[in-house]
Amino acid sequence: MFNLFKKKKLDYPVSFKGLKTDMHSHLIPGIDDGSPDMDTSVFLIREMKQLGYQKLITTPHISSDIFKNTTEIIQKGLAALQHRLEMEKLDIKVEAAAEYLIDDGFEKRLNSNNLITFSNKFLLVELPYFHLPPNLYDITFELQIKGYKIMLAHPERYLYWFNNMKKYEELKDRGVYFQLNMISLTGHYSQEVKKMAEKMIDAQMIDFLGSDLHNQHYLNILKKSQFEIYLEKVLMSGKIQNHIL
């Protein structure tokens, strides 16, 4: 009965200022499913600065089938974006890495030793949403042998693990860092994803918080996340490491 009166939202917005850095976004225009053009990128970056961020590490998708981005494509896009930000006198540090899908072509990229990292060899990776790569643990081991710090993007979204927290625990035991999408806490993806995000926060599994910013719609949802009780809880946990990047 008392749950009927349980507070569901904060009365005030949680500040992102203490995070300092966002390490997951899609702000280089026209190269993936993120920002479609330079004007949109500038608008989104200006908004992120107003939210309190001092540094953005934007991470275009790289996959074998859909987003066949290369280091050269990303660096060229970053240079153009940085030039535009200078013209706009927008004082915020913007760097680029990538969000790698662990798919059939990932091992080839790994063996090429041409993976784009950030902040002392952090590597942002994501998994397919509907099936677990059969060689995931082999790839994890190989990456770590080569000195990479694996950051798993939005672990709260992988449906095949929802009924088996031990799979998350196995990855944590292997030294994999977990990056939560803050918009997951709003129920944007689904209520199941929201519940898993909260469960992982309760278990103190989350190491980094990302925006996964793609467009103005995502920005609006990100702002809504500032009123989520669990966002305040994870920020106050002392576990979040965005500031080291």
For the chain, what are the domain ranges?
Answer: 15-244
Which pair of tokens denotes residue 141? 């081991």
Q: What is the pTM of this model?
A: 0.96
Mutual angle of helices 71-87 and 38-50, in 10-degree steps: 70
Q: How does pLDDT run across 182-210, given as a tens digit for each residue?
A: 999 999 999 999 999 999 999 999 999 99
The answer to whether the CB of 23 falls within 8 A of the CB of 34 is no
Q: What is the pLDDT of residue 177?
A: 98
Q: What is the pLDDT of residues 70-92, one digit of tens each?
A: 999 999 999 999 999 999 999 99
Q: Which two tokens stand for residue 60?
A: 């275009």
Question: How many Å apart are CA 16 and CA 22, to the nearest integer?
Answer: 10
| Confidence (pLDDT) at 5 | 53
Mean pLDDT by 10 residues, the chain (245 residues): 66 97 98 98 98 98 96 98 98 98 95 94 96 94 97 97 94 98 98 98 98 98 98 97 98
What the block records as the tokens of 36 is 């479609």
Domain at 15-244: CATH code: 3.20.20.140
Residue 26 contacts residue 59 (beta carbons within 8 Å) = yes
What pLDDT, on a 0 to 100 scale, did the predictor assign at position 2?
A: 46
